[in-house]
Amino acid sequence: MSDNEDLDFASGMSAFESKHFATAMRFLSPIAESGNTEAMHRVAIMYQNGLGVGHDPDAAVKWMRKAAEQGHAVAQHGFGFMFMEGDGVDKDMKEAIKWFTLAAEQGLAGSQTTLAMIYEEGNGVEKDPELAKEWYAKAGF
């Protein structure tokens, strides 16, 4: 990123954290377009929840997918939830588990815990108490 992009990114992230979402979108959208996965993730969240922009499930899925496919663990987790809940996509537990697993393998405790619960409850998969125990252990339980 250039110095200007760095400054715009910092401004966009600060606006996001301060809940000034229209400003955050103005700064982060071009940075997402240029390939920054953190900006993509934040843009997806804003579209997903109608923050500073109109609620746009298609745009939310587009940006969450792009960030997730580029290895952004929190976006992978978010994308997994989209599939688990049927939020902007068809409900698909296999797809949800795929994305949760990618994030969990990067050490994201939230995904590790979610996977543990999925296997413990048999949510869209066969119950697997051993696998549930493994994921709970990785998450620090």
CATH number, domain of 12, equals: 1.25.40
Whether 49 and 80 map to the same domain: the answer is no
Shared domain for 95 and 60, answered yes or no, is no
CATH number for the domain spanning 121: value is 1.25.40.10
Tell me the C-alpha distance between 18 and 71, whole Å: 26
Question: Do 123 and 82 lie in a common domain?
Answer: yes
Give the domain extent around 130.
74-141
Q: Are residues 78 and 134 in the same domain?
A: yes
Same domain, 48 and 85: no
* Total domain count, the chain: 2
Q: Over the stretch 44-83, which tens digit does the pLDDT of each residue have?
A: 999 999 999 999 999 999 999 999 999 999 999 999 999 9
For the question of whether the overall pTM of this predicted structure is more than 0.85, the answer is yes
